Structure 1
Amino acid sequence: MKKLLSLGIIAIMITTFWACSEDPAADNRVTITGIPATASIDNLGTLAPVAVTIEALDGLTTLSITKGTEVFDSKAYAGETSASYEFTYTANAADEDKNLVFTFIATDKDGDTETVTHVLTVGAAPEPIPNAVRTGIISANETWTNDRIWEIAGRVIVKDQVTLTIQEGTIIKGREGSGSLASALIIARGAKLMAKGTAEKPIVFTSILDNIQVGEKAGTNLSETNTGLWGGLIVLGKATVSVAGGETQIEGIPADIVEGKYGGGTSPVDNDNSGELTYISIRHGGTLIGANNEINGLTLGGVGSGTKIENIEVVGNEDDGIEFFGGTVNLTNGLVWAQKDDGYDIDQAYSGTISNIIYIAGAESDHGMEIDGAEGTVSRGFTIQNGTFKGMTGEYADFRDKARGTVKDLYFFNYKKADDIELDADGSVDPADASKKLSDNPGVSDNFKGSGFGFTGALVLTGLEFNSTVTDDASLQTLSAIFGDKWSKDSFLAGDTRLAADATAQAAANKATFESNNSMVTSATKTKGADKTKFTWTYANAKGKLSDF
């Protein structure tokens, strides 16, 4: 009996041993630590990075993270037993006042998982700050901040010795109105505008009708065809202006507004400093203030070289895009799109340098450039260089009024067969003798030639490239067809004793000079033009208008 009992005990022990030896190995848990169950951020805010640790002794394979039902992120692993993950999130407008559920699932090689849920609460949007309205005179330094919309109601004038600072990303809206009620920001002589936008946060001047909001770069309800909805930006200085007495009233501002004067008079200051204007987009301006008298997008009157003007865009202006009335200021990286008069306009012996510019004509645009010269005794020359001009309507350029300066290294395309560059003749009547006609043109023609009756200086057009394909004719364009010297016997100045044959010969010689210094190209062979990478920040680029530049 004892023997049988011993055998039974042995059998039970053997059975137990075999049963134990067939059990699977114990599973090792997957763990996720570091992520809190809940957190909260402000509307449009960012959750500070959270360090998450994932561990699996059997070796990690994946980490998947969902936001609600959508995949937020995923990671693959190669059997690591421990890994780190940095979790952060920036809320967008759709997240406002919501609880966002993030689910973290880690899996190991054995298929074991660990699931952790994180609820991120996003706050409600704050009530918008009411628009700030400015009208009349600014007589003390002030700053326009980017946390609200600023409205210009009528003329807003920054007085002499006062500085207006505008933060990057600020939106300024001009109210409707014309004539004496036209809205415009005017920087008077001796005042400063410190408007320093950035490529990421440009300063935008636009119409009160534009639905653009704080933090945005563009609205959705207006286009480049909406023009004349408010005035514009006017900067005035003390540099040399070629007019009688060296100073005058700026175009677009009534004569009774004393702050509308520009120029240094008999003691000009050519290095005058009116501030800094960088990364600014000016849209939908140019309202009428009188018959055939509109405000330009950006008007620069007697502005000195101490002023910094770079990265400026003008879109959809009723009058000119950017106009220089005398002065010595330089412009770098300028863009004008869809103005209704001229793109870049020069008057009164402006003598600065305009570099790296783009012009995009609209359906009602006139010239890409309109260049006038001296109106007084001072005669100086400007420089325009490194630009690309895209036509649609209007012409390449018009030179008048004893214009002198250098235009070089520009590329023109998308023009029509009849479009041209003119040394213009207006055929006006000589007030001293109604039987005679006079014009500013002989001065333009003589300056292009380099010498002539009663004029000195030069007008140089060189290194210009014209795309030989035109938009309205199968035949190719030629340099001879593009250039026109309009001087003729009827446009002689009073006292000019030259003959009609002299005018004909000079016009022919000028055409030959133009043809020898410039060239026809294709889009594949062009070597001149603007560097369009400087304009990625612009509204025009956002609308796809630089795709063929």
Structure 2
Amino acid sequence: MKKLLAIAFMLSGLMFITSCTEDTVDPDNGVTISGLTAAVSIENLGTYGPVTVTFEGADGLASVSLTKDGAVYGDTTFTGAPTTASLEFGYTATEADEDANIVFVFTATDADGDVESSTVVISVGEATPPRETIVLSGVIDEDMTLTPDGFYELAGRVIVTGGATLTIEPGTIIKGRLGEGSNASVLMIARDGMIDAEGTAEKPIIFTSVNDNIALGALSGTNLTATDNQLWGGVVILGNAPISVEAGTSAQIEGVPASEPLGQYGGDNATHSSGTFKYVSLRHGGTTIDPVAGNDINGLTLGGVGSGTVISNIEVFANYDDGIEFFGGSVNVTNVLVYTVGDDGLDVDQAYSGTIDNFLVYTSTAASSDEGLEIDGPEGSENATGKFSIKNGTITSVDGGGSGADFKSKAQGSVTNVKWANFTGGSTVKIRASFNADCTVKTDAMSHLTAGDLSFTTVEFAAIKVYSDQDCATELAAAQASAEASVTIGTATGVSDATVFASWTAAAQAGLL
């Protein structure tokens, strides 16, 4: 039976509260211990506590000790003879405790040699064995809840639609099967579906491959690394928020075959909610849909997702295509970690108008990473005013590979407090310039930069480079000078809080952060 939980107790957690004693000799006052219940039960290898245990001795406390089933479990000797001390005590059962009674005895001694003991007996229930793996496939059109007491497998495309809500409880592990093209394993939330996936730092929701040997209750497996990708698809969330495509106001999402009618996204509701997606780790995905067109699945694809959707604390680890790609929409995303994907870390398209805040992107040669950021603007005249905000981020290469950023097409928005580092030859931010046949300037990322519709504030990188595939050398040189005058390269602090990724992510578990 798998070890589900572990011991939690520290005598070093004692917090001392002292009080003065009289100069005269006091009578023998003895010692008291409070806060414990004599007998308690915990089910399914669960947890007792934490409870506050208080020790009082008017003559001054000398020491406290704790035994577990008669063996020393911890002890503390006091200095200064405090009259009061307390600690937080808790215990989480292990396999060895199953169907057993565990006896903890606290013993306190005061300065006069008085001794007091208090006993708590913890009765541990039998562990519930994991249930069999449940296979998910096809359409989910009724409310469903996924629980952490066993694995789930995605067999092909799984689509939440028809007003249904898919709830995923903290600690749940979903594994995608192998398969390419129309057989790719993908979880997709259609425009008329909802997702309620709210993990925690202690119990994140994990999407990974069936090849991953991760155990229930664990934060990572042992057999896959940051170079193992393309082992399943990814997660796609579609909404009704505005997008700017070449024609119309809706489109078929990238990575889903055109034959799937539920792959449509986009609309006129900027505040539309697709639900909640928090503390989710997406690992080892990026299956190919169309190898000829180079069409692969991102770790997380957001198509027309509205600002009513809550997305935070997201990791994409070892994906074959982009980490997260935004196709229009207005959703705000906070606390994002993208580690060594095979294309771009963060990709923005179709006049995405939300904010990406507090992020880390790692590129690498080993993963064949492309850009840390790849940013496009509107593609058509509809909904063309949306501007992104990208702030408080660090983009770095683990081995020098990859490139800093590419602001393409009609990129428009703001970049604030973003830092690039560790790229071979220095980090470069590229700005696209386009010209008519007579080399007059067309609307593009470069023209948006000079007009103030694309801005960089408190940014740190090696160089800015304006590029074009047109033979307008004089005009390109002028654009380069203008870009250098428009962007001040200085010092940035980058990611505002990297500690939010320090425990629950695959990258942290592998010691890569």
Instruction: Report the TM-score, using the length of structure 1 for normalisation.
Output: 0.75
Residues in 1 aligned to 2:337 and 2:46: alpha-carbon distance in whole angstroms: 34
Structure 2 equivalent of residue 376 of structure 1: 380
- Aligned pair in 2 of structure 1 residues 336, 54: CA closer, same or farther (>3 Å)? closer
| Paired amino acid for 1:506 | A
Residues in 2 aligned to 1:518 and 1:92: alpha-carbon distance in whole angstroms: 54
- Aligned pair in 2 of structure 1 residues 70, 409: CA closer, same or farther (>3 Å)? same
Residues in 1 aligned to 2:454 and 2:84: alpha-carbon distance in whole angstroms: 74
Structure 1 equivalent of residue 74 of structure 2: 73
Residues in 2 aligned to 1:107 and 1:46: alpha-carbon distance in whole angstroms: 28
Structure 1 equivalent of residue 16 of structure 2: none
| Paired amino acid for 1:412 | W
1:355 pairs with 337, 354, 357, which one?
Answer: 357
Q: Secondary structure at the match of 1:512?
A: helix
More displaced, 343-352 or 105-114?
Answer: 105-114
Q: CA deviation at 1:336?
A: 0.8
Structure 2 equivalent of residue 24 of structure 1: none
Q: Secondary structure at the match of 2:171?
A: coil
More displaced, 379-388 or 94-103?
Answer: 94-103
Do 1:182 and 1:287's aligned partners in 2 also have CA atoms closer than 8 Å? Answer: yes
Q: CA deviation at 1:128?
A: 1.1
Residues in 1 aligned to 2:117 and 2:453: alpha-carbon distance in whole angstroms: 79
- Aligned pair in 2 of structure 1 residues 41, 168: CA closer, same or farther (>3 Å)? closer
- Aligned pair in 2 of structure 1 residues 507, 127: CA closer, same or farther (>3 Å)? same
CA offsets 1:305-352 (integer angstroms, 9 cap, x no match): 221212211111110000001111111221111111100001112121
| Paired amino acid for 2:483 | N
Do 1:358 and 1:530's aligned partners in 2 also have CA atoms closer than 8 Å? Answer: no
Structure 2 equivalent of residue 16 of structure 1: none
Query: Taking every aligned residue pair, what percent have the same amino acid on both sides?
Result: 48
Q: Secondary structure at the match of 2:482?
A: helix
Structure 2 equivalent of residue 140 of structure 1: 142
1:410 pairs with 402, 418, 434, which one?
Answer: 418
Residues in 2 aligned to 1:233 and 1:407: alpha-carbon distance in whole angstroms: 26
| Paired amino acid for 1:134 | L
Structure 1 equivalent of residue 468 of structure 2: 487
2:405 pairs with 389, 397, 412, which one?
Answer: 397
Q: Secondary structure at the match of 1:446?
A: helix
Do 1:488 and 1:504's aligned partners in 2 also have CA atoms closer than 8 Å? Answer: no
Q: Secondary structure at the match of 2:484?
A: helix
Do 1:306 and 1:329's aligned partners in 2 also have CA atoms closer than 8 Å? Answer: yes
Structure 2 equivalent of residue 423 of structure 1: 431
1:248 pairs with 248, 251, 274, which one?
Answer: 251
| Paired amino acid for 1:386 | N
Q: Secondary structure at the match of 2:499?
A: helix
Q: Between Structure 1 and Structure 2, whose CA radius of gyration is higher?
A: 1
2:394 pairs with 378, 381, 388, which one?
Answer: 388
Residues in 2 aligned to 1:59 and 1:236: alpha-carbon distance in whole angstroms: 65
CA offsets 1:373-413 (integer angstroms, 9 cap, x no match): 22211323211111111123111101112222211211122
Do 1:315 and 1:338's aligned partners in 2 also have CA atoms closer than 8 Å? Answer: yes
| Residue 518 (structure 1) aligned with residue 489 (structure 2) | yes
Residues in 1 aligned to 2:357 and 2:33: alpha-carbon distance in whole angstroms: 58
More displaced, 531-540 or 68-77?
Answer: 68-77
Q: CA deviation at 1:220?
A: 2.6
Residues in 2 aligned to 1:350 and 1:50: alpha-carbon distance in whole angstroms: 49
Q: Secondary structure at the match of 1:245?
A: coil
Q: CA deviation at 1:221?
A: 2.5
CA offsets 1:212-253 (integer angstroms, 9 cap, x no match): 233332223322222111111101112222111121111111
Structure 2 equivalent of residue 459 of structure 1: 454
Structure 2 equivalent of residue 126 of structure 1: 128
Residues in 2 aligned to 1:353 and 1:50: alpha-carbon distance in whole angstroms: 42
More displaced, 157-166 or 340-349?
Answer: 157-166
Q: Secondary structure at the match of 2:403?
A: coil
Structure 2 equivalent of residue 262 of structure 1: 265
| Structure 2 counterparts to residues 169-248 of structure 1, below 5 A | 169-243=171-245, 244-248=247-251
Residues in 1 aligned to 2:439 and 2:135: alpha-carbon distance in whole angstroms: 49
Do 1:302 and 1:327's aligned partners in 2 also have CA atoms closer than 8 Å? Answer: yes
Structure 2 equivalent of residue 308 of structure 1: 310
- Aligned pair in 2 of structure 1 residues 111, 175: CA closer, same or farther (>3 Å)? same
Residues in 2 aligned to 1:54 and 1:305: alpha-carbon distance in whole angstroms: 52
Do 1:43 and 1:92's aligned partners in 2 also have CA atoms closer than 8 Å? Answer: no
Q: CA deviation at 1:256?
A: 0.5
Structure 2: gaps (5+ residues):
1-29
| Paired amino acid for 1:176 | L
Q: CA deviation at 1:61?
A: 6.0
Q: Secondary structure at the match of 1:246?
A: coil
Residues in 2 aligned to 1:220 and 1:200: alpha-carbon distance in whole angstroms: 19
Q: CA deviation at 1:513?
A: 2.3
- The runs of at least 4 aligned residues of structure 1 exceeding 4 Å deviation read 29-41, 47-56, 58-63, 75-88, 97-121, 436-442
Q: Secondary structure at the match of 1:396?
A: strand
Instruction: Report the TM-score, using the length of structure 2 for normalisation.
Output: 0.80
The number of residues matched between the two structures is 474
Structure 1 equivalent of residue 27 of structure 2: none
Structure 1 equivalent of residue 371 of structure 2: 367
Residues in 2 aligned to 1:52 and 1:259: alpha-carbon distance in whole angstroms: 57
Residues in 1 aligned to 2:228 and 2:140: alpha-carbon distance in whole angstroms: 29
Residues in 1 aligned to 2:465 and 2:362: alpha-carbon distance in whole angstroms: 23
More helix by share: 1
| Paired amino acid for 1:142 | M
Do 1:335 and 1:359's aligned partners in 2 also have CA atoms closer than 8 Å? Answer: yes
- Aligned pair in 2 of structure 1 residues 535, 115: CA closer, same or farther (>3 Å)? closer
Do 2:143 and 2:165's aligned partners in 1 also have CA atoms closer than 8 Å? Answer: yes
Say what the alpha-carbon RMSD is for the aligned residues.
4.0
1:531 pairs with 492, 497, 503, which one?
Answer: 497
Residues in 2 aligned to 1:36 and 1:349: alpha-carbon distance in whole angstroms: 60
Q: Secondary structure at the match of 1:484?
A: strand
Do 1:156 and 1:183's aligned partners in 2 also have CA atoms closer than 8 Å? Answer: yes
Structure 1 equivalent of residue 6 of structure 2: none
2:478 pairs with 496, 502, 505, which one?
Answer: 505
Structure 1 equivalent of residue 18 of structure 2: none
